[in-house]
Amino acid sequence: MIKEERIPTKDGIQLGAKLFTPNEEPKAGIIINSAMAVKQSFYWDFASFLAQNGYLVLTYDYRGIGKSSVANQRDKRLTLSAWGENDLEAVIDWCGKHSKALVWHCVCHSVGGQILGLASNNTQLSSVYCVSAQSGFWRLWGLSISQS
């Protein structure tokens, strides 16, 4: 079963989310953190696969993206740091309240792994699996041009 959810953040943004429920008692819960500006719908096949294998899965859009879009794209609350400090924090809280008995994990893609450290409640997650969540520090990236 797939259910639309709305998750409020502490600064008043409503996040659009989908909860994928398995047909049996869930083994655990999994939050999927998207890559930079990637809509949650990109991960729905993966979320469905996880649910078919016994996991309760939550996908969501960061503020300003997809189902979490806002009327004013110049809203000062639309910051990258707010994705971790407010959005992910609200998602972790919501998941913990929604399914208190479950152990929660997070699958992070790209920036989804980088913002994980910004959520003050990230210690409530039992594990984190990061896919291509490289450092954003520019000096760690090789240059393809000659440095003379």
| CATH at residue 126 | 3.40.50.1820
- The pLDDT, as a whole number, for residue 138 is 66
145 belongs to a structural domain: no
146 belongs to a structural domain: no
- The pLDDT, as a whole number, for residue 143 is 64
As a whole number, mean pLDDT of residues 94-106 equals 95
Per DSSP, which regions of the chain are E strands? 2-8, 14-20, 29-33, 56-60, 104-109, 127-131
Mean pLDDT, the chain, whole residue set: 90
As a whole number, mean pLDDT of residues 94-121 equals 93
147 belongs to a structural domain: no
113 belongs to a structural domain: yes
Query: In this structure, what token pair is assigned to residue 146?
Result: 């000659």
Question: Band of the pLDDT at 145, cuts 50, 70, 90?
Answer: low
31 belongs to a structural domain: yes
pLDDT digits 0-9 by tens, 46-71: 999 999 999 999 999 999 888 988 77
93 belongs to a structural domain: yes
* Cα–Cα dist 147/79, whole Å: 33
As a whole number of Å, the end-to-end CA separation of the chain is: 58
Residue 49: domain span: 2-140
35 belongs to a structural domain: yes
8 belongs to a structural domain: yes
- Residue 6 forms beta bridges with which residues? 16
Number of domains, the chain = 1
pLDDT for 144 beyond 80? no
